[in-house]
Every structure is written in structure tokens, then in C-alpha cells.
Amino acid sequence: MRYTLHERLGAGGQGEVWRARDPQRDVDIAVKILHPAAARIAVAWAALEREYAINSRLDHPRVLKVFAPEATQDALLLPMELASGGDLRRLRGAGYLSIVPVLLDVAQALVALAPKATPLPLPLTTIVTLTLTHTGNDVGPTSHEEAEGVSCVDAPPHASALMLM
């Protein structure tokens, strides 16, 4: 792997996200690392390619840039910009004045991107919940409760492309 892994930022049922150094770009990035079972490699690769394809059409300061997926002998990688906003878990239980600015940033990004994205089959509040959950320390919601009542199965394939910086 060409990246130097520095710190594990999160983990979920599908893999891990690491803070890493990209020597070719000379910048710190985040790398989603999946270790799918042999029978699921094609499905996992297709999901990473779909996330990259959708994200590459989006251009907004609050949406992370995702780079082309890569495969190594033992893992699938999705490199992306490193979010500078910090861990959103700090907002759990926080007061209104802490949460509203973050929700406004997410809403502004969604409004700006709506004409470019595939029509969203879920209400805006669901996407915001998925976005906030996805950008915490987890690689995505791993349980119904963690997603605040939203089932991961119902998430549109492009929900993970809408990541808050």
C-alpha cells in the first residue's frame, strides 16, 4: 500500500477508516479500508466504485473529495480528503446552539448538490441523520439505534458520498 497509516479514525462492520499520509499528493488523507470475504470482493469493489463515481460529480466545500478506489492484495481502499471538522460524536447531547450550525452546513450542501445528485428516495432529515452518523468515528451506522431510528438497509447508495467536512 502506498499510504502510511497514522491513526485509526473509526471502524464499522465493513472496514476501517484511517488518517494516512499520501506521499504522491504530499498531504494527509483519510483512507477507507475494506477487507471483504472472498465471496464479497466484487460487491465491495462495485460499492466503492459507485461511491467514487457519484462523489466525483459533486463539487461543494462541505462535501469531501473522494479519489479513485484502489485494490491491494488483501484490501480494497477508498482514499478521500481528510475532514477537518472533527468528530461529530461531540454533538450527541449538545445544546441547540452547537448543533444548529452543523445542520445548516449539511442542509446548504444538500440544497446546492440536489440538482447534481440522483433523486433522493429518502426525506432530507434521513439523509442528514445518515450524514451525521457517517462522519463520526464509525464507518457508517452499524445498528438501528446508532442511526437514530434510520435503517441502514434503507439508505440510498449515494448517502455515504454526502460527507460533512
Cβ atoms within 10 Å, residue 77: 22
The answer on 77 and 33 residing in a single domain is yes
Q: Report percent pLDDT > 70 for the chain.
A: 69
The answer on 150 and 104 residing in a single domain is yes
Q: What spatial distance separates the first Cα and last Cα of the chain, rounded to whole Å?
A: 25
CA distance 133 to 146: 7
SS3 at position 52? helix
pLDDT of residue 3: 95
The answer, yes or no, to whether residue 32 has pLDDT greater than 90, is yes
pLDDT of residue 60: 80
**Predicted confidence band of residue 146 (pLDDT cuts 50, 70, 90):** very low
Which of 14-28, 34-48, 55-69, 110-124 is modeled with the greatest confidence? 14-28
- Residue 24 identity (one-letter amino acid): Q
Give the residue numbers spanning the domain of 153.
88-161
The answer on 59 and 28 residing in a single domain is yes
CA atoms within 13 A on the CB side of 65: 6
The answer on 56 and 113 residing in a single domain is no
Contact 159, 134 (CB under 8 A): yes
pLDDT of residue 19: 94
The answer on 10 and 49 residing in a single domain is yes
Domain final residue, candidates 81, 108, 130: 81
pLDDT tens for 38-52 read 778 999 999 999 989
pLDDT of residue 118: 54
The answer on 119 and 70 residing in a single domain is no
In terms of C-beta distances under 8 Å and separation of at least 24 residues, what long-range contacts does 153-158 make, across chains too? 154/122, 154/126, 155/122, 155/130, 156/118, 156/120, 156/121, 156/122, 156/127, 157/47, 157/50, 157/51, 157/54, 158/50, 158/51, 158/54, 158/117, 158/118
The answer on 95 and 117 residing in a single domain is yes
pLDDT of residue 26: 95
CATH number at residue 59: 3.30.200.20
pLDDT tens for 62-81 read 788 999 999 998 899 999 99
The answer on 122 and 99 residing in a single domain is yes
Map grid coordinates 472472498 to a residue.
38
The answer on 17 and 49 residing in a single domain is yes
Map grid coordinates 504522491 to a residue.
24
What is the distance of C-alpha 9 from the center of its chain? 12
Q: Please count the structural domains in the chain.
A: 2
Taking the whole predicted model, whether its pTM rises above 0.75 is answered as no
pLDDT of residue 98: 86
Question: With the C-alpha atoms ordered 5, 29, 68, 119, is the resulting torsion angle positive or negative?
Answer: positive
CA distance 133 to 26: 29
The answer on 39 and 12 residing in a single domain is yes
The answer on 65 and 21 residing in a single domain is yes
